[in-house]
């Protein structure tokens, strides 16, 4: 019981640090804030089919995308994170960029750019992994699982 409470507190530390970052800095533009809120909701298991219990079954796994056509793996991992510090560091970086780019591009162009780059990141990861596996027999780049908004 006590150990579970410690894990729950540890799990939310990154979320609390992220909330502090949002509240203490300049206002966060709406598209950036919505993207951060969506990723925090997924991390806190407020979205049942994208909770951390499914991280392994929905991670960006190039071999499963190529062989089994599991297209959900191109997008679901982008809003999932391995732990609270992974979420925190990705979102702090994203907020910093969003505060500069969203006002410059406007919300619609920014949202389209964000979606385009997210899709491109996943597709490039799959392509490069497949290429490396073909170029270097015995490697297993296509079998490596990845999650996170940074695309890594």
Residue 150 maps to a domain: no
Strand, helix or coil for residue 132:
helix
The pLDDT of residue 51:
62
Residue 74 maps to a domain: yes
**How much is the average pLDDT of 13-37?**
93
The pLDDT of residue 2:
44
Residue 95 maps to a domain: yes
Which residue range forms the structural domain that includes residue 81?
2-143
pTM: 0.82
CA nearest 84: which of 53, 124, 44, 56? 44
The pLDDT of residue 108:
97
Residue with token string 């406007």:
106
Residue 97 has pLDDT above 90, yes or no: yes
pLDDT tens digits, one per residue of 120-150: 989 998 999 989 988 998 888 888 888 887 7
Residue 55 has pLDDT above 70, yes or no: no
Residue 151 maps to a domain: no
Q: What's the number of domains the chain is made of?
A: 1
Q: Residue 60: is it exposed, middle or buried by C-beta count within 10 angstroms (0-12/13-18/19+)? A: buried
Residue 6 has pLDDT above 50, yes or no: no
Least confidently predicted of 17-21, 80-84, 127-131: 80-84
């Amino acid at each position: 019981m006590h150990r579970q409470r410690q894990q729950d507190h540890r799990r939310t530390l990154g979320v609390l640090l992220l909330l502090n970052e949002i509240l203490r800095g300049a206002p966060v533009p709406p598209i950036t804030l919505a993207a951060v809120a969506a990723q925090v909701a997924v991390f806190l298991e407020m979205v049942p089919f994208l909770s951390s219990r499914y991280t392994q079954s929905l991670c960006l796994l190039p071999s499963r995308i190529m062989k089994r056509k599991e297209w959900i793996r191109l997008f679901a991992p982008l809003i999932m994170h391995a732990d609270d510090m992974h979420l925190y560091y990705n979102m702090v970086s994203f907020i910093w960029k969003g505060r500069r780019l969203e006002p410059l591009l406007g919300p619609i162009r920014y949202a389209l750019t964000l979606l385009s780059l997210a899709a491109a990141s996943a597709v490039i990861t799959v392509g490069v992994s497949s290429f490396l596996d073909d170029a270097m027999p015995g490697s297993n780049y296509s079998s490596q699982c990845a999650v996170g908004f940074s695309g890594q």
